[in-house]
Amino acid sequence: MIKNFIQELKWRGMLHDCVPGTEEQLTKEMTIGYIGFDPTADSLGVGNLVQIMTLLHFQRAGHKPIALVGGATGMVGDPSGKSQERNFLSEEVLQHNLNCQKKQLEKFLDFESGVNSAEIVNNYDWFKNFTFLEFIRDVGKHITINYMMAKDSVQKRMDTGMSFTEFSYQLVQGYDFYYLWKHKGVKLQMGGSDQWGNIVTGTELIRRKDSGDAFALTTPLIKKADGTKFGKTEGGNIWLDAKRTSPYQFYQFWLNASDEDSKNYIRIFTLMTQAEIEAMEAEHAKAPNFRILQKALAKDITIRVHSETDYNAAVEASEIFFGKGTIEQLKSVSQRGDFLDILREAGVPSFQIGALDIKNGINIVDFVAEKTKIFSSKGEARKMIQAGGVSINLNKISDVNLIVNNDYLLPNSYILIRKGKKEYSMVNVVG
RNA sequence: GGGGAGAUAGCCAAGUGGCCAAAGGCAACAGACUGUAAAUCUGUCCUCUUCGGAGUUCAUAGGUUCGAAUCCUAUUCUCCCCA
């Protein structure tokens, strides 16, 4: 049962370009396609999620997806989009990254669906015994320097310089495609639009070496409506690994998407149908303040990347933090034994303070800047308080001389501090 | 190898003896408005501060001067042109 993958990508806004004949190939038969992942970090980020979703849609359309982790290519370094020569990663780091990414990928695809089960391969497996001489004779011979030089990724580096290693990258990646085509019957390589050059080097190699036919398809680079880069916030990258980006932060990232962006995101990052999405958009337009799209988006992705439990904790924490949360609600919910765990799970940083300090009363500035490290200096804390940027137990404070004492303790002996608009910390009383 | 231009805060960029902790822009952070959105407006934006100030900066190391981002010397790095 094969669905039209190309049409699917099109309405989702996930198709940037493809080689002529790709659609015919995909409607004709079950096709094996792959996408490569670069092991630059030990977790994939939301940027990689686009490629993961592409593979998932590919599989759901009835085709067989292969995720390739770049054990070999990661050793070389892709020059695409880079203005400078890359630093090598050590082999242990590379291996570690590879394993972590592999585990993450396994979460998304279906590895037990018969003929079109997903697979994960590592290109190091076919490169490790490939000697340099063999490579330049068997592969290098078929691609001219002129062809390689014409590539955008190479042209951009002509002024600043580029090592032979990075220059060779496209051949190495090109050979991946050839190898998979030859040995696994792979006919399609997909990737971000920045990969176009590398991908067609592969199709070219297949054509010249074996007169074979292979196809290429790319997805557009995702940008936010304001033109800034997708997947980054003030805290840096948004990762799929809960250790790097807590499920709460992850949920918040999607929930904070602008109206404009959420329309694109919901098409790309969820499996909802066109009808479902359009109905939701209509509803959203009626009452944008309910942020129906953002909530649906955040729910869908958080559950898929993390879990239902994580999602519920994230929502609960969000409601207390940003809902019409009053101090009474905060108090009542704090009585629950598991609430502190929810906060912790949400990635709310926690600090400790001695019971005696609180009992005697402590100046708010000392409290947030000295006894705890919520602020890095007293001056900063004072400025922030004066600007109205600090809340204690959901109440905004403005007095820098405020004394914090036992009256401020919530059930289960803690105090909730908000710094700025979205950053919460909890302070636990110990001893 | 020869000639030229340059290095200023997270980034871009002005400043060519004192009025310089250094214009302006971007980014970031906070506030107001809102919907935890976008846009807009306001404030902060080297570090610390008892908000009076104090300390450390303009590639690096020396020097001239009452006083240096600014002048001199050496060094390192970057870019451009010629061979």
Q: Calculate the angstrom distance between C1' of B66 and CA of A266.
A: 69
pLDDT of amino acid A298 = 95
pLDDT of amino acid A233 = 63
Nucleotide nearest A314 (Cα, C1'): B36
pLDDT of amino acid A418 = 92
pLDDT at residue A83 greater than cutoff 80 = no
pLDDT of amino acid A392 = 92
User: The complex's ipTM?
Assistant: 0.82
pLDDT at residue A421 greater than cutoff 60 = yes
A40 closest CA partner among A86, A105, A109: A86
Give the whole-angstrom CA distance, residue A39 versus residue A41.
6
Q: Contact, A344 vs A350, CB < 8 A?
A: yes
Verify if strand B has an atom below 7 Å from the CB of A318: yes
> Per residue in A103-151, pLDDT tens?
999 999 999 988 999 999 999 999 999 999 999 999 999 999 889 988 8
pLDDT of amino acid A427 = 92
Chain centroid to CA A270: 14
Give the whole-angstrom CA distance, residue A382 versus residue A368.
10
Chain B bases near protein Cβ (<7 Å): 28-32, 34-39, 43-44, 47-51, 79-80
Residue of A227 and A138 predicted with greater confidence: A138
Q: Calculate the angstrom distance between C1' of B41 and CA of A342.
A: 38
Verify if strand B has an atom below 7 Å from the CB of A426: no
Verify if strand B has an atom below 7 Å from the CB of A387: yes
Verify if strand B has an atom below 7 Å from the CB of A423: yes
Range with lowest mean pLDDT among A72-86, A247-261, A325-339: A72-86
pLDDT of amino acid A343 = 85
- Mean pLDDT over each residue of chain A, to the nearest integer: 89
> Per residue in A228-242, pLDDT tens?
777 766 556 788 998
pLDDT of amino acid A338 = 83
Domains of chain A: residue spans and CATH = 5-219 (3.40.50.620), 232-322 (1.10.240.10), 327-430 (3.10.290.10)
Give the whole-angstrom CA distance, residue A394 versus residue A351.
17
Helices (DSSP H) in A233-354: which residue ranges?
Answer: 247-255, 259-269, 274-286, 292-305, 308-322, 327-334, 339-345
Give the three-state DSSP class for A196: helix
